């Protein structure tokens, strides 16, 4: 039996190896081979599946899951879930329990999650006389404006209120907050609905009015970098910013809050699944390993490292995630988190990225561009 994952950091590798060691002591009768893929993960998995050399158990990126589900290359897990008494599927938060479903059947177990929250620099807030993080869009705008300033008096802004990225993932929470969506249950696109257009316009206004910046404008790699360099007071990011700040900007004082709400509270959730290949030669052994790693023990150890957050309620409760000053915000966000799984061929993502770039770098008109985009991607719908 073979198990494959990617490894984005040495910490991640250490934790995986340690969890596997725990599995070895508990199930010495189940031999397996762990084969991590360091780069171009999705490409490699695709080739392995296509050539019949896929690992039995592997990680599947959440945003690629609709394609894999529609291509029918994964094993249905319902029987395993039902017959494994120790697994306790009901323990998962509903949004993640139902994340990897097709036609009412479960094909993947959400191993962890991440959501977008608002990181803010508490010193900058204090300095500006602001006590609470922004609660809604209006406050987000006015606070950003208030926090945007020229600190050294050379006539150029060197502290922005907010930093956003010109990517569609970061636009989507605003769309959800405004009551819009990418597509409905039936797969009808909602890009040209007023809710979507309004949210896009608001998102762009933050940048065009100069109260928010984007990383490339200040020569940074990403949001966290901009905030760490004190060039922005607020940033939208996931939990991956926490170890980054700790390592690179340990002296920065920051807090986190749920994203400011629009018409309703909403954020975007990211999740990775454990899946078993349909043609796996050892599916039973693969499930054993899955059940351990995504079980209470495995998940507790995995999320303890702070890499990601637990999708099991019991793990979150027992390890005091709710009480934690930072992770508590993430857990709170689960209530109104939307998964971002678009049931279209992956080209939609690049088309949408191109449109976002056109908004930011070419000043493209919002409504016309979204109309054109909807027309283009409608033909990539997955069956």
Partner 1 sequence: MKLRFSSVKQEQQVWAMIFLFAPLLLLGIFVFFPIVFAFVVSFYDWNLLIPDKPFVGLANYSELFKDEVFIISIKNTIIYTIGVVPTQTFAALFLAFIMNQKIKGRTFFRIAFYIPAITSSVVTSIIFVWIYSKPGLLNYLLAGIGIDAQIDWLTNPNTVLPSIMMLNIWTTSGFFMVSFLAGLQSIPQSLYEAAKIDGANSWQQFWNITVPMVRPITFFVMVMSLIGCFQVFDQIFIMSSGGPDNASTTMSFFVYQNSFKYFKFGFGAASAVVLACIIFASTYLQKKYFPSEAY
Alpha carbon distance, N-terminus to C-terminus of the chain: 31
Told to check if 279 binds partner 1 by CB under 8 A, we report no
Bridge partners (DSSP) of residue 60 are: 273
Residue 106, classified by CB atoms within 10 Å of its CB into exposed (0-12), middle (13-18) or buried (19+), is buried
Smallest gap from Cβ 367 to partner 1, in A, equals 17
Residue 45, classified by CB atoms within 10 Å of its CB into exposed (0-12), middle (13-18) or buried (19+), is buried
- The nearer residue to partner 1, 41 or 113, going by C-beta atoms, is 41
- Tell me the C-alpha distance between 67 and 247, whole Å: 36
Q: Which of 264, 362, 365, 368 binds partner 1 (CB under 8 A)?
A: 362
Q: Which of 7, 216, 305, 319 binds partner 1 (CB under 8 A)?
A: 216
| Contact present, 171 and 199 (Cβ < 8 Å) | yes
Smallest gap from Cβ 224 to partner 1, in A, equals 17
Q: Which of 81, 252, 358, 366 binds partner 1 (CB under 8 A)?
A: 358
Smallest gap from Cβ 6 to partner 1, in A, equals 16
Q: Which two tokens stand for residue 51?
A: 């050539």
Told to check if 160 binds partner 1 by CB under 8 A, we report no
Q: Which stretch binds partner 1 (CB under 8 A): 92-100, 196-204, 237-245, 348-356?
A: 348-356
| Contact present, 113 and 100 (Cβ < 8 Å) | no
Told to check if 210 binds partner 1 by CB under 8 A, we report no
Query: Count of residues binding partner 1 (CB under 8 A)?
Result: 30
- The nearer residue to partner 1, 64 or 319, going by C-beta atoms, is 64
Q: Which of 218, 252, 326, 366 binds partner 1 (CB under 8 A)?
A: 218
Please tell me the number of Cα atoms within 13 Å of 82 on its side-chain side.
Answer: 6
Told to check if 230 binds partner 1 by CB under 8 A, we report no
- Tell me the C-alpha distance between 61 and 203, whole Å: 26
Return the closest-CA partner of residue 311 out of 81, 115, 59, 110: 110
Handedness of CA 360, 357, 217, 122 (dihedral sign): positive
Smallest gap from Cβ 316 to partner 1, in A, equals 34
Q: Which of 1, 19, 49, 95 binds partner 1 (CB under 8 A)?
A: 49
Smallest gap from Cβ 315 to partner 1, in A, equals 33
Q: Mask 59-98, x = binds partner 1 (CB under 8 A)?
A: --------xx--xxx-------------------------
Which residues fall within 8 angstroms of residue 1, CB to CB, at 6 or more apart? 30, 31, 32, 33, 56, 57, 280, 281, 282, 285, 286, 289
| Contact present, 358 and 364 (Cβ < 8 Å) | yes
- The nearer residue to partner 1, 202 or 360, going by C-beta atoms, is 360
Task: Name the site residues for partner 1 (rule: CB under 8 A).
Answer: 42-43, 46-47, 49-51, 67-68, 71-73, 216-219, 345-347, 350, 353-355, 357-358, 360-362, 364, 376
């Amino acid at each position: 039996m073979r198990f494959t994952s990617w490894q984005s950091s040495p910490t991640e590798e250490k934790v995986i190896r340690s969890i596997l060691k725990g599995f070895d002591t508990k199930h010495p009768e189940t031999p397996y081979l762990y084969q991590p893929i360091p780069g171009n993960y999705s490409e490699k998995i695709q080739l392995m599946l296509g050539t019949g050399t896929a690992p039995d158990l592997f990680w599947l990126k959440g945003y690629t899951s609709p394609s894999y589900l529609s291509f029918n290359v994964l094993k249905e897990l319902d029987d395993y879930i039902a017959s494994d008494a120790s697994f306790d599927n009901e323990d998962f938060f509903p949004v993640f329990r139902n994340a990897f479903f097709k036609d009412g059947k479960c094909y993947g177990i959400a191993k962890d999650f991440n959501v977008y929250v608002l990181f803010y620099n508490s010193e900058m807030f204090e300095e500006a006389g602001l006590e609470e993080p922004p609660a809604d869009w209006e406050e987000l705008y006015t606070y950003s404006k208030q926090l945007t300033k020229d600190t050294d008096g050379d006539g150029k802004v060197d502290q922005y209120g907010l930093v956003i990225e010109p990517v569609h993932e970061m636009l989507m929470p605003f769309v959800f907050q405004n009551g819009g969506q990418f597509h409905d249950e039936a797969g009808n696109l909602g890009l040209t609905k007023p809710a979507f257009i309004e949210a896009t316009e608001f998102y762009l206004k933050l940048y065009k009015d100069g109260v928010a910046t984007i990383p490339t404008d200040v020569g940074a790699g990403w949001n966290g970098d901009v905030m760490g360099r004190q060039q922005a007071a607020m940033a939208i990011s996931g939990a991956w910013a926490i170890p980054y700040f700790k390592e690179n900007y340990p002296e920065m004082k920051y807090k986190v809050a749920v994203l400011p709400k629009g018409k309703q509270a909403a954020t975007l959730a990211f999740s990775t699944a454990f899946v078993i290949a349909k043609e796996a030669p050892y599916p039973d052994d693969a499930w054993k390993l899955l059940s351990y790693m995504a079980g209470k023990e495995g998940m507790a150890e995995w999320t303890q490292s702070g890499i990601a957050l637990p999708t099991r309620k019991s793990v979150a409760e027992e390890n005091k995630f709710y009480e934690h000053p930072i992770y508590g915000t993430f857990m709170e966000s689960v209530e109104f988190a939307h998964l971002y799984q678009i049931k279209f061929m992956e080209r939609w993502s690049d088309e949408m990225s191109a449109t976002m770039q056109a908004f930011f770098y070419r000043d493209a008109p919002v409504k016309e561009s979204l109309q054109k985009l909807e027309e283009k991607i409608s033909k990539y719908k997955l069956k």
